[in-house]
Amino acid sequence: MSATVVKDWLEENGISSGDIAAMETSNLLSSVGLFQTVTDTALNEILKEANVTLAARAKVLAGLKGIRRQISVVQGDNLKIVQAMADSAQGLIYWLKATILATIFAVVPVLAIVINHTNYDYEIDPATGEPVPLEVKKLREIVIAPGIAVFFLFLAASPMTAMFFARDMLQERSAGFDAKLQAKDSLMNSGLVCALLLTMVISALQADSPTPEPTTILSMYYTVSLNMSLYFSMSATGISALCLVYIQPLEGAAAERFMSTMALYFGEPYCNMVFSLMTLVVSMNLWVWGKYGDSAGTVALFLTWFLETRTFVTLQNLSAWKNEEITDDERKGRIQIVTEAERQEAQAHAPQPKGLEM
* DSSP letter assigned to residue 355: S
In tens, the pLDDT along 82-94 reads: 555 555 778 889 9
213 or 148: which carries more pLDDT confidence? 148
Strongest mean pLDDT among 272-281, 321-330, 340-349: 272-281
Task: Name the amino acid, one letter, at 168.
Answer: D
DSSP string, 188-219: HHHHHHHHHHHHHHHHHHTS--SSSSTTSHHH
Helix axes 252-261 and 340-349, enclosed angle (nearest 10): 150
In the predicted model, what is the mean pLDDT of the chain?
A: 80
The 10 Å Cβ neighbour count of residue 130 is 8
With cut-offs at 50, 70 and 90, classify the pLDDT of residue 328.
confident
Query: What is the pTM assigned to this prediction?
Result: 0.72
DSSP string, 67-110: HHHHHHHHH---------PPPHHHHHHHHHHHHHHHIIIIIHHH
With cut-offs at 50, 70 and 90, classify the pLDDT of residue 213.
confident
In tens, the pLDDT along 19-46 reads: 888 877 777 666 555 666 667 777 777 7
Torsion of CA 313, 315, 319, 320, to 10 degrees: 10
pLDDT of residue 297: 92
Within a 13 Å sphere around the CA of 58, how many CA atoms are in the beta-carbon half? Answer: 3
* DSSP letter assigned to residue 248: T
Question: Does the pLDDT at position 125 exceed 90?
Answer: no
49 or 243: which carries more pLDDT confidence? 243
Question: Does the pLDDT at position 341 exceed 80?
Answer: no
pLDDT of residue 255: 85
pLDDT of residue 277: 94
pLDDT of residue 355: 47
Of 166, 160, 155, 157, the closest CA to residue 228 belongs to 155
Question: Does the pLDDT at position 207 exceed 90?
Answer: no
Measured distance CA(358)–CA(116) in Å, rounded: 45
Of 152, 354, 136, the closest CA to residue 253 belongs to 354
Distances (CA, A) of 195 to 42, 180, 236: 30, 22, 8
